Amino acid sequence: MAGDDSNVISISDSHWMVDGLLAHGEVSDVYFARRARWPTELAVLKVLRDPDDGSLLESEWRALERLHRNPAVDGMNFAMRVPFSIVHGTAAGGNAGGLVGVYRWAQGFLHTFEAIRVAFPNGIAPPASIWIWRRILETLSVMGRAGLVHGAVLPNHLLIQEGEHGVRLVGFGCADLPGAHLRVVCSRFEHLYPTALLASGELAQWVDIVMSARCIAYLLGGSAHDGEVPAHVPAPLAEILRRCGSDTNSTVEDSWSLHQELGEIGRRLFGPPAFHPIVVG
């Protein structure tokens, strides 16, 4: 995507200047971009590598529209918590014929949990994991009220807002209603999926909670293969992580109740809520 013309992508009547690669996903390449006409707008472009994966882009679009239009998101800045779709479709120009989704840029969300783990190979500080997990649970709670399951709450789909107090959930290609079939499995983190989900392929809201617990265990220095909790994690926090991340736990409590319980654990262990920043580099 270099050169004067090849870095401009057009979808319908919108035109986007591609400024640089952000990430290689399982099925797509993700770019930083800006609207090529005034008034400009910063954006993220997701370019599918294989047109056969177009159903994932369509399902992501439907899920995000359902989520943002639901009254359950009122009062929350959800454009910062999850992607906000601008346009999607078949591209002309630099990626002629390719399937592209364009999403609003959210400032500061630069590092996935996967990248954070690389930067902190022994794990982040346990107090920081409290606010991070609570942010995820807030998002899952709203999704639950909107009747949606994400289906891929994984380290490559969670981003931390460096220097701020935000966590962003992306990768909505598998998101659907409870009972729908899981469309694809991320091979890099296959072991973080509950066994029951892999066996049945049936989405349920409890699977998002289980995967969120395993992601926090991974961020604390645990194994990416099973989400095991490291020995240095304080016992009350380790217990709730193991309970919620259990491979056989299909009756885990709802996201908001867990959010509240986690807040109480944080207060007992570390005192009043406080921001523990995660800074990379």
Domain final position from 104, 122, 139: 104
Tens digit of pLDDT per residue, the chain (281 long)?
434 456 888 998 899 999 889 888 888 999 999 998 888 999 999 999 888 889 999 999 999 998 888 776 665 567 688 999 999 988 886 655 688 999 999 888 889 999 999 999 999 999 999 999 999 999 999 999 889 999 999 999 999 987 788 899 999 999 999 999 999 999 889 989 999 999 999 999 999 999 999 999 999 999 866 678 999 999 999 999 999 998 766 666 689 999 999 999 999 999 988 888 888 87
Whether residue 57 sits in one domain with residue 165: no
Question: Does residue 209 sit in the same domain as residue 120?
Answer: yes
For residues 78 and 155, state if they share a domain: no
In this structure, the answer to whether residues 126 and 58 fall within a common structural domain is no
Q: Which of 151, 156, 230, 229 is nearest to 193 (CA)?
A: 151
pLDDT of residue 228: 85
- Say yes or no: 113 and 95 in one domain: no
The parent domain of residue 123 ranges over 109-270
Q: Same domain, yes or no, for 123 and 260?
A: yes
* Same domain, yes or no: 82 and 147: no
Last residue of a domain, one of 69, 104, 139: 104
Give the residues across from 92 on adjacent strands: 10
CA distance 88 to 9: 11
User: What integer pLDDT is reported at residue 2 of this predicted model?
Assistant: 39
| One domain for residues 192 and 160 | yes
With respect to residue 3, please indicate whether it lies within any of the assigned structural domains: no
Evaluate whether residue 113 is within a structural domain. yes
Tell me whether residue 279 is in a domain: no
User: Does residue 218 fall inside a structural domain?
Assistant: yes
- The predicted pLDDT at position 27 comes to 87
Residue 94 has a pLDDT of 62
The 8-class DSSP code of residue 73 comes to: G
Same domain, 98 and 150: no
How many CB atoms neighbour CB 19 within 10 A?
A: 15
Residue 38: CB atoms within 10 Å: 6
Q: Do 93 and 140 share a structural domain?
A: no
Q: Is residue 71 part of a domain?
A: yes
Region class of 73: left (phi > 0), else alpha (psi between -120 and 50), else beta: alpha
pLDDT at 167: 94
Q: Are residues 100 and 176 located together in one domain of the fold?
A: no
Last residue of a domain, one of 82, 104, 126: 104
Phi and psi at residue 128, to the nearest 5°: -65, -30
Looking at the domain assignment, is residue 276 inside a domain? no
197 within domain boundaries: yes
| CATH at 71 | 3.30.200.20
Q: What is the pLDDT of residue 3?
A: 40
- Determine the pLDDT at residue 250: 62
Per the structure, the count of domains in the chain is 2
Answer yes or no: do 154 and 22 share one domain.
Answer: no
Q: Which CATH number fits the domain that encloses residue 258?
A: 1.10.510.10
